[in-house]
Amino acid sequence: MAKRRIQTTLSDEAFKILEKYKNDYKGYNHVIEAALRLLDDSSPQISDDDMLLIKLIRELDFTGCGRSQYMYLVCGDPKRAVDESSMETAVEWFLKKPFVEIELEEFLETVRRGWKILNRVDYVEITKGQGWIQFFCEHTMRRREVSEFLAEHILMIHRKYYSEKWDVLTSISTNGFVLKFYRRYSD
């Protein structure tokens, strides 16, 4: 492929980025060509608005939620906000399979990851033992109602898909909750 010579200047910030990748790409020209291919790629990329959304969530402590859920929360109906939330759809979309094929642990891990990404909670830990899985969640909103609202999302899905195979013990506080699922054993 024919090459063309260009001469230009860069800001200090841009040059630092160029320097950072120079060795990985075996030269400045290869870094610039790779960057240009990314800009010209027809596949979806992160726009400035996408970056702003990420910064709002991470830096300003915003959280994400579905429109219908937001509407029901604003209207003072948290039960309906949970019952008609898009969590079920989001989990199926993320895992690329229907809920009947999703194991409890897989569901809980997807919730953990989604809630962290959406800044719904501050800490989530999933632990497993012989015949049990525990979902431990903490938040800094310091309201029992928030803990109940969050826990109810998981419990609603549990009742719908997992209650025949798993029992659950619930402990809720102002700072979070623990859901401990125990596998039911047939006699």
CATH number for position 103: 3.30.70
The reply to whether 38 falls in a domain is no
The reply to whether 64 falls in a domain is no
Q: Please, is 96 exposed, middle or buried when counting C-beta atoms within 10 Å of its C-beta (0-12, 13-18, 19+)?
A: exposed
* Domain encompassing residue 108: 86-183
The answer to whether 109 touches 154, Cβ cutoff 8 Å, is no
In 3D space, the residue among 178, 171, 181 whose CA is nearest the CA of residue 131 turns out to be 181
Confidence at residue 74, expressed as pLDDT on a 0 to 100 scale: 93
pTM: 0.73
Tell me the helix, strand and coil percentages in the chain, rounded to 5: 50, 15, 30
The answer to whether 167 touches 184, Cβ cutoff 8 Å, is yes
Partners of 128 in the β-ladder: 133
Domain count of the fold of the chain = 1
The reply to whether 177 falls in a domain is yes
Query: In terms of pLDDT, which residue wins out, 63 or 97?
Result: 97
Partners of 123 in the β-ladder: 138
Name the band, by pLDDT with cuts 50, 70 and 90, for residue 108. very high
The reply to whether 77 falls in a domain is no
Name the band, by pLDDT with cuts 50, 70 and 90, for residue 84. confident
Q: What's at 156, amino acid-wise? A: M
From the CA atom positions of the chain, what is the Rg in Å?
23
The reply to whether 147 falls in a domain is yes
Spatial separation of the C-alpha atoms in residues 173 and 30, rounded to whole Å: 55
Q: Please, is 41 exposed, middle or buried when counting C-beta atoms within 10 Å of its C-beta (0-12, 13-18, 19+)?
A: exposed
Spatial separation of the C-alpha atoms in residues 155 and 160, rounded to whole Å: 9
The reply to whether 34 falls in a domain is no
Confidence at residue 64, expressed as pLDDT on a 0 to 100 scale: 83
Q: How far is CA 118 from the centre of its chain?
A: 5
